[in-house]
């Protein structure tokens, strides 16, 4: 599983690290103003995508004993 990329509705550009954490891109969401909204459910916009490597703590700082022993 660790060799396969993860790309579904939840985890875009994801991968499974040796410590068991799934690292994937995260979205910065912002609420639209009433003028920007085109309907009742049109309330959010995505001004930025944060790459998974920046969104999650690096594995070497995770204090995961099974990974630290390898």
Q: What is the pLDDT of residues 3-51, one digit of tens each?
A: 889 998 888 899 998 888 899 999 999 999 999 999 999 999 999 999 9
In this prediction, residue 36 carries a pLDDT of 96
Q: What is the mean pLDDT of residues 43-65?
A: 90
Higher pLDDT, 66 or 44: 44
In this prediction, residue 70 carries a pLDDT of 54
In this prediction, residue 69 carries a pLDDT of 58
In this prediction, residue 10 carries a pLDDT of 86
Residue 6 backbone dihedrals phi, psi, to 5 degrees: -110, 125
| DSSP code of residue 37 | -
Looking at the DSSP bridge assignments, the partners of residue 16 are: 22
- Domains of the chain, residue spans: 25-53
């Amino acid at each position: 599983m660790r060799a396969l990329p993860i790309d579904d509705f939840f985890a875009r550009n994801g991968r499974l690290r040796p410590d068991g954490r799934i690292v994937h891109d995260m979205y910065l969401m912002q609420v639209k103003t009433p003028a920007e909204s085109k309907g009742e459910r049109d309330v959010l916009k995505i001004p930025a995508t944060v790459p998974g490597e920046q969104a999650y703590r690096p594995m070497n700082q995770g204090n995961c004993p099974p990974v630290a022993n390898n």
